Amino acid sequence: MKELEIMKDDSEIVHYDRSGVPLYIRNARLSSYPNMRALCHWHEDLEFIRVFSGKMNYYVNGKSILLNENDCLMVNVRQMHYGYASDKTDCDFACILFHPNLFTGNKSLYQDYILPILNNQNLEYLHYTPDETGFPDVLQLLDRIISLKEQSVPGYEMEVIGIMHAFWNRILQHPEIIPPASSDKDRSDLAIQKNMVSYIYQHFSEKISLTDIAAAGNICRNKCCVIFRHYLQQSPIEFLNSYRLKVSCGLLKETADSITRIALSCGFNHLSYYSKLFLQNYGCTPSEYRCLYTAPGD
């Protein structure tokens, strides 16, 4: 599982399958994530989830979607989202990230059929279930993309891009393509949430208080906690610690820095507290985690 890296606009840096081709296709298992929960993030890519077995909840801008076996989900660009297990049930799934610049270079088609969906603030996601008309077609298209990645025949990306154009045509025909409008308050709270998360991304290594996080959203501490609970199902400090731990994982794997130094650089002032949180979230100590990712002879 790759560590979360952040761009200047605080969106996620996606490590694509091939440099220069903004496409990412992976099979994953929810139990591989700490506490069976991914860290909340957003990016400029369209995201597609295909559930093979089990189930998971997917949070998109504070809305929880239950994904059962064979369900498919499309998450629009720039939406805050993450997957998690509400009852510790595991889930095998595929994740596809597709950057919009892979779509047709024809300006008229792009402006008429692609931009209106990408820029639709009310279209946060589309949930496809087996009882819907047209679902078999959607499932077949996504499974073909996954199969192409598994085979990785030279040039498979070209066929993936073609299939995604066909999938986009199905999106245009979806009955929820013009969903109910979100209220101005919902959009305002979402913007506030992004500002507070961005503040944590930028200042996680510093001493941060609840007051500091609330100030980043220009709101009181109580509303700060309410918004975090609504969108992330975590308190502000819980999310801060989750991100600090995530960053520390990368340092444990990629540097030879002492665990004490890593803890301090990630904003933890006490090694014992860092080690306790790490064990609670990852099921092992920082030292054990480092050993797992250190090849013999390194």
Are 61 and 120 contained in the same domain?
Answer: yes
Helix (H) or strand (E) holding 91: strand 91-98
Are 159 and 257 contained in the same domain?
Answer: no
Domain residue limits at 274: 184-292
Please write the tens of the pLDDT for every residue from 154-190.
999 999 999 999 999 988 887 666 554 555 666 788 8
Query: Exposure of 102 by Cβ count < 10 A (0-12 exposed, 13-18 middle, 19+ buried)?
Result: middle
Please write the tens of the pLDDT for every residue from 68-104.
999 999 999 999 999 999 888 899 999 999 999 999 8
**Dihedral (Cα; 114, 118, 119, 120), 10-degree rounding:** 100
| Domain at 247, CATH number | 1.10.10.60
Please write the tens of the pLDDT for every residue from 229-265.
988 889 999 999 999 999 999 999 999 999 999 999 9
Are 168 and 188 contained in the same domain?
Answer: no
Burial state string for 245-260 with b = 16 or more CB within 10 A and e = fewer than 16: bbbbbbbbeeeeeebe
2 domain residue, yes or no:
no
- State how many domains the chain has: 2
Are 109 and 189 contained in the same domain?
Answer: no
Are 142 and 233 contained in the same domain?
Answer: no
The CA distance from 225 to 214, in Å, is 8
Q: What does pTM read for this prediction?
A: 0.75
